[in-house]
C-alpha cells in the first residue's frame, strides 16, 4: 500500500492505530489532507488522530475537534470509520449538550450522517441515558439501508445490556414494524426461547 507523507514524515496506513498515536500533534489542516485521501486506511488514521486529540485535549481543543469532525463528517464514509470515531467525538461532546445535530443527521440523505446519528448515542448509553437512542431509532425505523438496520439494532442491544426492561419496552412497541436485521441485532443476547418469541411475532 502506498505510504503518505506529512510534514516530511512517512505515515504507513497498514497500521493506522499505531500511526495515529505518532501524529497526534498534527494541525487540523494536515489531518484534513489525510481525511480526504482515497485510501480507506488513511481516512481511518485521520479519524483516529482526531479521537486522540479529542480525548487528550482541553475544552477548547475538544470543541475544535468536534466542529472539524462535523464539518467533514461525510468523509467518515464506511461503517468502521463511523463506529470508531462518532461515539468518542460526537457522542462524548454532546453528552451534556443539546442533541439537535443528531436529529438533523438522522433525517439526512447521507448514509454516513445517519449512521453517525445513532452510533453517537453509544456514549449516552454508557452513561445510562437511552432517550435519544430510542427517539433516533424511531426516526430510522423505516430506513432502507442494511447498515442502518444493523446500527440501530446494535444500539438497542447495548441499551439492553444496561436495562433489558427498557429495551423490551421499546421492542414491544416496534418489534413487528422494525426490519428483520434490526430486530435480530437487537435481540442477539436474549435467551433462545425469548428470541424465538420475538422472531415469530407477526
pLDDT digits (tens, 9 = 90+) for 100-113: 999 999 999 999 99
Residue 66 cell numbers, joined: 468536534
Backbone torsions φ then ψ of 180, nearest 5 degrees = -60, -40
Residue 191 cell numbers, joined: 435467551
Distance separating alpha carbons of residues 164 and 16, to the nearest angstrom: 36
Q: How many CB atoms lie within 10 A of CB 105?
A: 23
Distance separating alpha carbons of residues 67 and 75, to the nearest angstrom: 14
Instruction: Examine the domain organization and report whether 162 and 139 are in the same domain.
Output: yes
Q: Collect all residues with Cβ–Cβ distance below 8 Å to 92 and sequence separation of at least 6.
A: 54, 123
Residue 19: what pLDDT? 56
Residue 21: what pLDDT? 62
Instruction: Examine the domain organization and report whether 64 and 34 are in the same domain.
Output: yes
Domain end call among 74, 98, 113? 74
Residue 108 cell numbers, joined: 439526512
What's the CATH number where 136 sits? 1.25.10.90
Residue 193: what pLDDT? 93
Instruction: Examine the domain organization and report whether 3 and 99 are in the same domain.
Output: no
**Residue 25 in this model has a pLDDT that exceeds 90:** no
Instruction: Examine the domain organization and report whether 105 and 180 are in the same domain.
Output: yes
pTM score, two decimals?
Answer: 0.89
Decide: 140 and 181 in contact? Cβ < 8 Å: no
> How much is the average pLDDT of 144-170?
97
Count of the separate structural domains present in the chain? 2
Residue 160: what pLDDT? 97
Domain end call among 74, 99, 134? 74
**Residue 65 in this model has a pLDDT that exceeds 60:** yes
What percent of the residues of the chain are helix, what percent strand, and what percent coil, each to the nearest 5? 65, 5, 30
Radius of gyration of the CA atoms of the chain, in A: 18
- Give the range of the structural domain holding residue 60, as residue numbers without chain letter: 1-74
Distance separating alpha carbons of residues 42 and 15, to the nearest angstrom: 9
Average pLDDT, the chain: 90
**Residue 146 in this model has a pLDDT that exceeds 80:** yes
Instruction: Examine the domain organization and report whether 163 and 96 are in the same domain.
Output: yes
Q: How many CB atoms lie within 10 A of CB 155?
A: 28
> How much is the average pLDDT of 125-153?
97
Amino acid at each position: 500500500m502506498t505510504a503518505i507523507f506529512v510534514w516530511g514524515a512517512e505515515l504507513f496506513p497498514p497500521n493506522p492505530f499505531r500511526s495515529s498515536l505518532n501524529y497526534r500533534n498534527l494541525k487540523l489542516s494536515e489531518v484534513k489532507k489525510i481525511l480526504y485521501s482515497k485510501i480507506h486506511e488513511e481516512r481511518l488514521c485521520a479519524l483516529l488522530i482526531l479521537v486522540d486529540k479529542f480525548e487528550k485535549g482541553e475544552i477548547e481543543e475538544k470543541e475544535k475537534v468536534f466542529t472539524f469532525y462535523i464539518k467533514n463528517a461525510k468523509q467518515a464514509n464506511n461503517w468502521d470509520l463511523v463506529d470508531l470515531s462518532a461515539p468518542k467525538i460526537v457522542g462524548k461532546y454532546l453528552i451534556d449538550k443539546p442533541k439537535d445535530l443528531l436529529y438533523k443527521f438522522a433525517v439526512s440523505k447521507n448514509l454516513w450522517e445517519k449512521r453517525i446519528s445513532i452510533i453517537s448515542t453509544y456514549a449516552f448509553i454508557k452513561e445510562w441515558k437511552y432517550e435519544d437512542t430510542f427517539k433516533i431509532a424511531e426516526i430510522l425505523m423505516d430506513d432502507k439501508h442494511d447498515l442502518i438496520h444493523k446500527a440501530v439494532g446494535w444500539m438497542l442491544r447495548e441499551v439492553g445490556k444496561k436495562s433489558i426492561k427498557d429495551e423490551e419496552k421499546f421492542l414491544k412497541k416496534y418489534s413487528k414494524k422494525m426490519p428483520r436485521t434490526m430486530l435480530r441485532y437487537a435481540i442477539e443476547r436474549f435467551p433462545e426461547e425469548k428470541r424465538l418469541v420475538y422472531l415469530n411475532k407477526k
